[in-house]
Structure 1
Amino acid sequence: MAKRVMTVDDSRTMREMVSLTLRKAGFEVSEAEDGRDALSKLRTTPVDVVITDLNMPHMDGVTLISTLRGDPRWRSVPILMLTTESDATKKAAGKSAGATGWLVKPFDPARLIDVVKRVAG
């Protein structure tokens, strides 16, 4: 059975690029446009990995990660940050919130697939 991944990004183009890349690698992918949308969809759509942007309206990636980590259902689900940010302070905030890993945009498709396969188990 294919592993399920949710990609969370306010850029439709970025969500589509990540989704296409992962679908070609055999993953099932759902999309959300920000943290609030992701939390709403995750109530009914279980996933094996979450990939989230950092800077988004309504709820940013760090808040999404903190919220998910506070819920027993999502405490052990790998969460990757995929963002243009490479600032050490922001990385530390993501890690402190519970991010499993950090990838910088623009992403390398082969690396994204490799990291997702590794964390998905």
Structure 2
Amino acid sequence: MDQDTYDWISKRAHQIWQEQGCPHGRDREHWSQAVAEREDFSEGTAPAQSIEASPHVEKVLVVDDEPLIRYATVDALEHAGFEVLEAGNADEALVVLRASEVDVVFTDVNMPGSTDGLGLMTFVRSRFPKTRVIVTSGHVRLGNFDLAGGVSFIPKPYKSMRS
């Protein structure tokens, strides 16, 4: 299976999961339905539902306990045109999430408090399924099987996109 096909199936399975209210224990069913839709698409039949273009991202919540890293990340995102909120740990992030709708949560893994970035990821995926989550760390490397569906990982240190 090529990467484009895998990515399409993964996104569609996640979309089906969201449409069905984020139920637990039915990943295989969602994946199978997405594979069937992709096969229909490959045979020339339009899939039952196409993957919608990603909604426009306007507001990002940056969660990092290292102030200098958080400030630099906030500055870079604001410079790129995003509205950015910030929190120093997952507990602060939960307060922000309950008070303001955000499109993306960008969270570090290792932080003090009642939960870490992975706990925050789990909370966001269960309570705000349309909110995207990006997890980052300079201490651990996480792969697709370490993260909830629809969550991305970016390792620290960040690489500059500028030439």
Question: Normalised by the shorter chain, which TM-score bucket?
Answer: 0.7 to 0.9
Pairing partner for 1:64 from 120, 123, 133: 120
Match for residue 76 of structure 1? 130
1:17 and 2:72 aligned: yes
Residues 30-49 of structure 1 aligned to structure 2 (within 5 Å):
30-49=85-104
Higher relative contact order (CA 8 A, sep 6+): 1
Partners of 1:25 and 1:49 lie apart in 2 by 14
TM-score (norm 2): 0.59
Task: For residues 16-65 of structure 1, give each alpha carbon's deviation from its aligned partner in whole angstroms, at most 9, with x where no partner exists.
Answer: 01000011110010000111110111111111111000000112011001
- Is the CA contact (8 Å cut-off) linking 1:65 and 1:98 kept in structure 2? no
> RMSD across aligned C-alpha pairs, in angstroms?
2.0
**Structure having the higher Rg:** 2
Q: Which runs of 4+ in 1 moved over 4 A?
A: none
Partners of 1:37 and 1:81 lie apart in 2 by 16
Residue ranges of structure 2 left out of the alignment (5+ in a row): 1-55
- Is the CA contact (8 Å cut-off) linking 1:2 and 1:26 kept in structure 2? no
- Is the CA contact (8 Å cut-off) linking 2:57 and 2:104 kept in structure 1? no
Identify if the C-alpha distance between structure 1 residues 45 and 64 changes in structure 2 by more than 3 Å, giving closer, same or farther. same
Partners of 1:24 and 1:105 lie apart in 2 by 20
Q: Percent identity?
A: 33
Residue ranges of structure 1 left out of the alignment (5+ in a row): 112-121
TM-score (norm 1): 0.78
